[in-house]
């Protein structure tokens, strides 16, 4: 196949050179991918920590500004489809005993202009727009407790306005309040 040994030796040296070059290239590629991956992992961790810090700051601001027995952080929010957002609700206990607040949704949720809607739900992960919240909260005497209310819109959500009513009561007293949150879904 080869005319002489010299041609074979040159071909063999060329083949070994190509193999060594490929091994070095693959190694450098792997190191580059690992380096870039590390950078993005750190950036993602920083974003997550920043989000947690912002939530803590929002809770602190609500706690310090809440002068009523029950305060809602915001009565209206815009929610893009496929996204989630958390609204906070604060419970002030200025009494000398512990209080348990009961939370429930009144008449479920509804789209603006309708009485009920199958597009939204309370504690229903299958609804196009859902609100997730705890059903009761214990507040020790002399403290303020903040709870999250999570809203989520599925990617299939259309532009609409949903009304969520939260009924708040105490079993041991006549306290009763309804807080309304309006959610505008955007495309």
Tens-place pLDDT, residues 25-40: 999 999 989 888 888 8
Summarised one tens digit per residue, pLDDT across range 2-17 is 556 777 677 667 777 7
Whether the CB-CB separation of 94 and 143 falls below 8 Å is answered with no
Hey, what are 81's tokens? 């489809």
- The count of structural domains within the chain is 2
Task: Kindly state whether residues 109 and 174 are assigned to the same domain.
Answer: yes
Task: Kindly state whether residues 46 and 79 are assigned to the same domain.
Answer: no
Task: Kindly state whether residues 58 and 124 are assigned to the same domain.
Answer: no
Q: pTM for this structure?
A: 0.66
Give the domain CATH number at 129.
Answer: 2.60.40.10
Q: pLDDT averaged over the chain?
A: 81
Task: Kindly state whether residues 165 and 124 are assigned to the same domain.
Answer: yes
Whether the CB-CB separation of 163 and 112 falls below 8 Å is answered with yes
Average pLDDT of the segment spanning 94-106: 82
Summarised one tens digit per residue, pLDDT across range 132-154 is 888 888 889 988 888 888 888 88
Task: Kindly state whether residues 61 and 83 are assigned to the same domain.
Answer: no
Please say if the pLDDT value at position 164 is more than 60. Answer: yes
Hey, what are 167's tokens? 């009924």
* Predicted pLDDT of residue 26: 92
* Predicted pLDDT of residue 1: 52
User: Which pLDDT band holds residue 106 (cuts at 50, 70, 90)?
Assistant: low
The parent domain of residue 17 ranges over: 1-65
Please say if the pLDDT value at position 43 is more than 80. Answer: no
Task: Kindly state whether residues 107 and 27 are assigned to the same domain.
Answer: no
Task: Kindly state whether residues 91 and 125 are assigned to the same domain.
Answer: yes
Task: Kindly state whether residues 116 and 57 are assigned to the same domain.
Answer: no
DSSP string, 35-97: HHHHHHHHHHHHHHHHHHHHHHHHHHHHHHH--SSEEES-SEEEEETT-EEEEEEEEE--SSS
């Amino acid at each position: 196949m080869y005319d002489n040994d010299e041609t074979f030796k040159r071909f063999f040296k060329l083949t070994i050179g190509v193999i060594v070059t490929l091994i070095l290239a693959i190694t450098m590629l792997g190191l580059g991918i690992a380096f870039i991956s590390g950078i993005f992992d750190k950036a993602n961790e920083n974003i997550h920590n920043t989000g947690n810090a912002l939530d803590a700051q929002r809770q602190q601001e609500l706690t310090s500004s809440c002068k009523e027995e029950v305060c809602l952080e915001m009565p209206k929010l815009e929610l893009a489809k496929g996204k989630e957002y958390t609204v906070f609700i604060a419970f002030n206990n200025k009494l000398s005993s512990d209080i348990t607040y009961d939370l429930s949704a009144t008449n479920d949720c509804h789209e603006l202009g309708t009485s009920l809607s199958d597009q939204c739900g309370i504690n229903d992960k299958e609804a196009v727009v859902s609100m997730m919240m705890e059903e009761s909260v214990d507040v020790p005497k002399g403290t303020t407790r903040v709870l999250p209310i999570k809203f989520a819109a599925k990617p299939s959500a259309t532009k609409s306005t949903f009304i969520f009513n939260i009924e708040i009561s105490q079993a041991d007293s006549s306290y009763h309040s309804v807080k309304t949150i309006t959610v505008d879904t955007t495309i």
